[in-house]
Amino acid sequence: MTSTATRDPNQVIIFDTTLRDGEQAPGCSMNLEEKLRIATVLEEMGVDVIEAGFPIASNGDFEAVREVGRLVKNSIVAGLARTNRADIERAAEALQFAERRRIHTFISTSPVHMRHMLKMTEEEVLARTVEYVSLARNHTDDVEWSAQDASRSDIDFLCRCVEAAIKAGATTINIPDTVGYAMPQEYAALFRTLIERVPNSDKAVFSAHCHNDLGVAVANSLAAIGAGARQIECTINGLGERAGNASMEEVVMAIRTRHDLMKVHTGIKTENITRASRLVSTITGFQVQPNKAIVGANAFAHESGIHQDGMLKHAETYEIMTPESVGLHRSSLVMGKHSGRAAFRAKLKELGYEDMGENAINDAFGRFKDLADRKKDIYDEDVIAILDDEAGRQ
């Protein structure tokens, strides 16, 4: 891990947890071979940290972390562990072959988790944080500590925990919105307070980890960056527990497209985004909704006549990023009942019918509009049938 003193202060570390938190989505488990295929693509796209699993959770997770660690050379490979000896030693064992390894250890800090789940007092949580961050540091100098349910924790207690974790050697401090409860302004304020109040906060990278229960995981991640976070934990296609995690493609493309405002960058080669999204979707069987930002089938598709006309004149009229920037060959003009003459002429040209006479084009356009009123999906074959018929009548 690059030390905080030498890192580029404007670079946001992308920590992908598709293989760990993403896999926790019900019905989404992946086998070893599938995890290795995804890890390969993540590494190729320039992901900084790949969280490959929770080694103590199962032999399968242990193997996945070990094999991803063996395979991947450029990205840091992380293994998750609770703050106890067995978890940390198992994670360290799984990571033994990784060239660049991180132990990611976590404990809950919210009253509801401490009382009902951990049955621990604040002082016990604090003591465990210190003891097991220190133990993790005996295995690697790259240790991340997470305050599970941080966004529902008492701020004074959270400050004490973060201070203790940094003192014990944590190099990354993760502040998860575990249950997707925080709102962007509130989540940003949490980072600002921690970074301001905790002594030596500059010795660690602050990280955002957002769940999407209220649909604001990406907004929260971006707000956290504005408040000083320099690592974002996210998954491909926003896969994850319940409503999922912050979607990597959305965070990365927001940072890239709005660099004017965000003033930070990531090391992600965004041209690999579509490929990664399709691979994760094929492997997990979780289809991407058509209107999903960045990777949905309609993200670069235009149907209405006005939009199609604008697109044919200049792509920037209705596109804020190019399809090529996310690895798509081109935008698509979808033929439907809202399409106008300009798009119809463009389609005709694409299909090789540009030599048709004006009258035939007009008649074909009228027939196409009638058909589009009756039929939801208009395929090239439908347009070709009309064009052939009109050409035959000429």
Least separation in angstroms between residue 211's CB and Zn ion is 6
Least separation in angstroms between residue 316's CB and ligand KIV is 38
Q: Do residues 289 and 281 touch, judged by C-beta distance below 8 A? A: no
Q: Which stretch binds ligand KIV (CB under 6 A): 55-63, 170-178, 263-271, 303-311?
A: 170-178
Does position 23 interact with ligand KIV (CB under 6 A)? The reply is: no
Does position 221 interact with ligand KIV (CB under 6 A)? The reply is: no
Nearer to ligand KIV, 51 or 250 (CB): 51
Least separation in angstroms between residue 333's CB and ligand KIV is 41
Least separation in angstroms between residue 146's CB and ligand KIV is 4
Q: Which does residue 106 bind out of Zn ion, ligand KIV, none, counting CB within 5 to 8 angstroms by kind?
A: ligand KIV
Calculate the alpha carbon distances from 244 to 21, 218, 296 in Å. 9, 11, 16
Build a one-symbol-per-residue string for 18-57: x at contacts with Zn ion by CB under 5 A, - elsewhere.
---x------------------------------------
Burial label, 270 (beta-carbon count in 10 A; 0-12, 13-18, 19+): buried
Dihedral (Cα; 259, 264, 269, 271), 10-degree rounding: -20
Apex 121 CA angle, 242 and 167, nearest 5: 85
Q: Which does residue 206 bind out of ligand KIV, Zn ion, none, counting CB within 5 to 8 angstroms by kind?
A: none
- Residue 270 CA to residue 254 CA, distance in Å, equals 11
Q: Do residues 16 and 45 touch, judged by C-beta distance below 8 A? A: no
Amino acid at site 167: K
Nearer to ligand KIV, 54 or 368 (CB): 54
Q: Which does residue 302 bind out of Zn ion, ligand KIV, none, counting CB within 5 to 8 angstroms by kind?
A: none
Apex 296 CA angle, 291 and 297, nearest 5: 95
Among the listed residues 15, 62, 106, 145, the single contact to ligand KIV using CB under 6 A: 106
Residues recorded for the chain = 394
Which residues of the shown chain bind Zn ion in the complex (CB under 5 A)? 21
